[in-house]
Structure 1
Amino acid sequence: MITRLRDYVLVLAVLAVLWQVLAQVLNDPLLPSPAQVMATMWHEAVRGDLIYHLMVTLRRVAIAFLFAMVLGVLWGWCMGRSRRMNRLFDPLLVLFLNLPALVLIILLYVWMGLVESAAVLAVILNKVPNVAVTLREGVRSLDPELEAMARAYRFTLRQRILDLWLPQLFPYLMAAMRSGLALIWKIVLVVELLGRSDGIGFQLHLAFQMFDVSTILAYSFSFILVVQLIEWLLLQPLERRARHWQAAGEVQNA
């Protein structure tokens, strides 16, 4: 963990130095230096605008992420366990997978108006199919011998979930969570840019109108930093704990 963090910091430092040199050589306001971007970020944070809009976007990301994961897992589970359900819903799944996010966002804004529910629903509908596809493949890969053992020993539903299904599906859940987090916050920014009056996307829209590249980068990097912290502090520890849990379960079964 420490080595990975050190390498990550080293790469960022090298990129920051190259960026600083390029900004000094070009001396163009459309390419501010890292110091200018950090100064803008600090100024916006002291004013309170950065924290406010960051929390608004995080709230939308959290709500959309939660609903997309729950609905996507249920959809993928049903399609993976039932061939009939898979045949029935596969065309709908393919349709949503190939429907551009921008088109869906515009349609929901037209149908529902420029309201919060339309914004969040657009993000959810864009992510649910990706989660469903990932979980469907995971459900299809469940070991049939373990399923037979569970039936023979009459596992309860709780035992099936915790001891049988969850350990096998965990890699697919992690893949869905990581890709979901990366995709959802990008779609949230588009949703905010097109039809909301707050959030990081709205601030990027205002900065774009003024050709204020420093503010664009300051708000963008602030949210990227938050997402990276979620990866370090939540997803990676969860993955390590689950691996230990899986290893302990394998030893116990052996």
Structure 2
Amino acid sequence: MNRIDQLFQNKKKSILSIYFTAGFPGLQDTLPIMEAIEAAGADIIEIGVPYSDPIADGPTIQESNNQALKNGMTLHLLFEQLQQMREKVSIPVILMGYLNPVVQYGMDAFCKKCKEVGVDGLILPDLPMQQYLSEYKSLFDAHDLRNTFLISPQTSEARIREIDQNTDGFIYMVSSASITGARKSVSPEQIAYFERVKAMGLKNPRLIGFGISDSSSFQTAAAHAHGAIIGSAFIHVLRDSKDLKKDIYQYIQSVIS
């Protein structure tokens, strides 16, 4: 069974997914960061594939993308680094990135490589639904890759239901109509949106992302969905860290304890 499916079957709430950019802060930090994330108690690892124009991302993740590219990170190198991943990491691993680098790599080759190294799912925010259904879904299915679409407060009910119908794994609930970035609190408008989607009775579990940064915002998100995704706040930890293993452990424990 796909590890994402297995996770959501075995754990129904307070799921924590941690996002970081491959090749940041250092080019060879990818696997050590992954090991530290799992050891600290997170449930899913999302690896960002660096891209020169990450349109949905705020300054923190943009800067990490720029630094990773300067360090020399590429999709080819990332797959090399992930070659021994499953000897050290057992939790679900998702690659998140933009369509352009994946198409440049070759979608067939990309999916094959994901399967080979043990990647469980993909998040490609700029992949259009119809293109996914007509060109890529059969390919993703053949390589046991779960595809995740994003919804936001502006997404219509009809669109949310279409996404739910054509999604495997989980739905990524963007918490607000803005770019990524850690924020201090969850607004009443966001809570209303979380509750509105929860009441729709979707078949897929939901994880809330954008603006989740600490125990308080994680608990709030987890009360209205199956869990949450932390990205920018975790990138801050990596950027400021003098001891990655220790600082990752302390940060993730501070969120889930």
TM-score (norm 1): 0.23
TM-score (norm 2): 0.23
| Higher helix content, 1 or 2 | 1
| Higher strand content, 1 or 2 | 2
